[in-house]
Amino acid sequence: MDDFSDMKFSRRDLLIVGALSASVAAVPSMAAAQASAPAAPSRPPVGAKVTLQVNGKTHRLDLDTRTTLLDTLREHLQLTGTKKGCDHGQCGACTVIVDGRRINSCLTLAVMHEGAAITTIEGLGSADQLHPMQAAFVRYDGYQCGYCTPGQICSAVAVLDEIKRGVPSHVSADLNARPQITADEIRERMSGNICRCGAYSNILDAITEVAGRTA
């Protein structure tokens, strides 16, 4: 038989061993308690009536209050130009313009925008009459797979409006002066829109052309 007479245990060692033994013993009883516990009753979804002004048209909807603006546009209004990319606000594919400001529609609930004026890619132009930004993206090949393009274009339109209104960015040299249309300003403001194909230089060229024309 092994002789344990020479082994020495500290008080800390004994406490650790005791805690582990108690934890192991508690696991089966906890599992049994959880198995026997009644399931929590499911709650029905909470609905709300929401009125949205989308691309100049009024839409009155009855929505689950948890429905995002992105899912409202795609699933309820069939405006599938707005894309669902990461669904976490990291890629910008779902960018739309709400009351003149661009937002990630996957990060906001539709019920938060009662009466708001919303513009999606479908509302900027049509196949017969493209928005100048859409035409510039085509001219400069500002896309490859095209998945991010609706969000890129909506964001680009809003970026030029931000600069026109004098909204500074993180690279604005003087926060009290009106920002200028420069490559650095455009890159910074468009940094929330990811293009996995890497068409950034072409996107910059397209935005710069439209900016020069409007200026």
75, amino acid identity = E
* Every domain of the chain and the residues it spans: 47-124, 125-215
Q: Which residues contact 150 (CB under 8 A, 6 or more apart)?
A: 81, 82, 83, 93, 95, 120, 121
Class of domain 125-215: mainly alpha
Question: Does the predicted TM-score (pTM) go above 0.85?
Answer: no
Which value, to the nearest 10 degrees, does the dihedral of the CA atoms of residues 162, 165, 166, 167 take?
A: -40
Does residue 25 register a pLDDT over 70? no
Instruction: Return the pLDDT at 215.
Output: 44
Q: How far is the C-alpha of 87 from the C-alpha of 159, rounded, in Å? A: 22
Q: In this predicted structure, what is the pLDDT of residue 162?
A: 96
Average pLDDT of 88-100? 97
Cβ within 8 Å of residue 61, ≥6 positions away: 49, 50, 51, 52, 72, 76, 110
pLDDT for residue 47 = 87
**Residue range 47-124, CATH number:** 3.10.20.30
